């Protein structure tokens, strides 16, 4: 039988057919839940599940897991200083027209690995050298990242995580005016790219299957908007404000995808299908954390402490909805159209949400988050949630390291 090579479009079609047949399925009740919180006026809090408290993992246990993750990244770094490659191909591959798509993947993953190693704050010479090699690769290659083809725009991830990492690199070069100038210029280059690849309706998506026009004709996706807006906020706080109109259009696009219960559409193209499984709370578990955080950082008063806490409780109590999709090779084939690549993404931004809460509320939530992630570490020290060529262990490990440092110690400033 000939080898079958699926594109993402075909995979999503299969997933949609599967989910349409199960669209009426309701989430089963998980054991060990406390009684739902009493409903506040004009809210849906009566439907928010809450797990019983768990014993916080020992600081030493978390530290050991972080150490194994760091060792994985050190051993896995490419000779040129980057992380990830187009290897580990299989019959079922995500759509990635070469070479542009893979430069986008590698740039985003390298930025994330450098960011994770910076946040771990391991002062060993080998860690410092890995960061410096990764930084050199990024400074050379980030200016080269472009839209791969008219329909594939994975470069938006490179620009978003590139900005976030460049901001952290600025702080590492506080006494080097020339390097800070170089990094600042590259942040502005990323702004320019994001202006070029902005959706016609504001925000960003990573596909344009509609028109393939110079200004992408497809609508934005909520979680790309959130990722970039969070990076924009960090850059603004570091003295590099993003273009105001670009930022405001992205915020507006994200708000249009917000539902009354603070679940979020997968993308604006689903606005006429708000109860599609992917848009329901179970399908939004991996997106709501990032979307809520992005809007809060940009001053949205509707994203209260209670909203953040409620969605953290949803994430922990209904975690199996994300876990069922973890490591499945076809995107969106699981219940509620969950895709595996939302797993560690969602938990990283959950940790960022916890940082927004009063210190008295954090320990309970940090304990749940650490307990979930520690049991999933692989034997080689990595974490991964979706088979993506040879990028998945790298981005998964980076996400979890940045999560665990936030539950092991006081929040990173």
> Cα(203)–Cα(197) distance, rounded to whole angstroms?
9
pLDDT digits (tens, 9 = 90+) for 156-206: 999 999 999 999 999 999 999 999 999 999 999 999 999 999 999 999 999
Which residue(s) pair with 390 in the sheet?
85
Residues 6+ apart with CB under 8 A from 313: 48, 49, 50, 51
pLDDT at 409: 55
pLDDT band for 10, please (50, 70, 90 cuts): very low
Kindly state the tokens that stand for 83: 């992380």
Identify the residue with better confidence: 30 or 344: 344
Write the pLDDT tens digit of every residue in 275-307. 999 999 999 999 999 999 999 999 999 999 999
What is the spatial distance between Cα 159 and Cα 330, in angstroms, rounded to a whole number? 26
Residue 14 has pLDDT above 50, yes or no: no
Closest C-alpha to 249, from 307, 208, 289, 298: 298
Least confident range from 42-46, 67-71, 138-142, 240-244: namely 42-46
What per-residue confidence (pLDDT) applies to 93? 86
pLDDT at residue 45 tops 90: no
The better pLDDT of the pair 411, 91 is held by 91
- Provide the Cα torsion 14, 16, 21, 27; round to 10°: 120
pLDDT of residue 229: 98
Q: How many residues does the structure list for the chain?
A: 413
373: Cα separation from own chain's centroid: 15
3-state secondary structure of 207: strand
Domains, in order of start, for the chain: 8-408 (1.50.10.20)
Contacts of 342 (CB under 8 A, 6+ apart): 223, 285, 286, 287, 322, 325, 385
pLDDT digits (tens, 9 = 90+) for 89-135: 877 789 999 899 999 999 999 999 999 999 999 999 999 999 999 99
- The reported pTM is 0.89
Query: pLDDT by residue (tens digit) across 204-239?
Result: 999 999 888 999 998 999 999 999 999 999 999 999
238/172 Cα distance (integer angstroms) = 13
Q: Is the dihedral of CA 395, 401, 402, 403 positive or negative?
A: positive
Q: pLDDT band for 35, please (50, 70, 90 cuts).
A: very low
- Write the DSSP assignment of 10-46 as a string of letters: HHHHHHHHHHHHTTT--PPPPTTBPPPPPPPTTS-GG
């Amino acid at each position: 039988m000939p080898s079958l090579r699926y594109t993402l479009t075909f995979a999503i079609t299969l997933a949609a057919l599967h989910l349409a047949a199960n669209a009426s399925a309701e989430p089963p009740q998980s054991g060990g839940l406390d009684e739902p919180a009493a409903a506040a006026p004009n809210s849906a809090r009566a439907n928010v599940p809450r797990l019983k408290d768990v014993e916080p993992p020992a600081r030493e246990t978390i530290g050991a897991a972080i150490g194994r993750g760091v060792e994985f990244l050190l051993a896995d770094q490419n000779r040129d200083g980057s992380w990830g490659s187009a290897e580990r191909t299989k019959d079922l591959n995500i759509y990635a027209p070469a070479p542009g798509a893979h430069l986008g993947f590698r740039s985003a993953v390298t930025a994330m690995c450098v960011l994770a190693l910076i946040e771990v704050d391991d002062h060993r010479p080998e860690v410092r050298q890995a960061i410096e090699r990764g930084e050199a690769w990024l400074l050379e290659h980030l200016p080269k990242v472009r839209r791969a083809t008219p329909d594939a725009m994975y470069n938006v991830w490179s620009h978003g995580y590139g900005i976030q990492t460049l901001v952290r690199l600025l702080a590492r070069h506080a006494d080097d005016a020339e390097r800070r100038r170089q990094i600042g210029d590259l942040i502005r280059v990323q702004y320019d790219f994001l202006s070029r690849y902005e959706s016609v309706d504001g925000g960003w998506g990573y596909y344009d299957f509609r028109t393939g026009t110079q200004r992408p004709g497809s609508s934005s996706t909520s979680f790309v908007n959130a990722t970039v807006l969070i990076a924009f906020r960090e850059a603004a706080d570091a003295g590099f404000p993003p273009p105001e109109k670009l930022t405001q259009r992205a915020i507006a696009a994200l708000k249009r995808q917000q539902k009354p219960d603070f679940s979020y559409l997968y993308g604006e193209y689903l606005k006429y299908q708000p109860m599609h499984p992917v848009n329901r709370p179970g399908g939004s578990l991996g997106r709501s954390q990032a979307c809520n955080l992005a809007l809060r950082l940009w001053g949205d008063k509707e994203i209260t402490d209670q909203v953040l806490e409620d969605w953290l409780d949803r994430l922990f109590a209904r975690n199996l909805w994300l876990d069922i999709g973890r490591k499945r090779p076809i995107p969106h084939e699981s219940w509620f159209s969950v895709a595996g690549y939302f797993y560690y993404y969602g938990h990283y931004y959950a940790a960022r949400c916890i940082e927004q809460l009063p210190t008295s509320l954090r320990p309970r939530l940090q304990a749940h988050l650490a307990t979930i992630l520690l049991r999933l570490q692989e034997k080689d020290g990595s974490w991964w949630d979706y088979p993506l060529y040879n990028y998945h262990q790298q981005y998964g490990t980076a996400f979890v390291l940045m999560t665990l440092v936030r539950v092991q110690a006081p929040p990173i400033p």
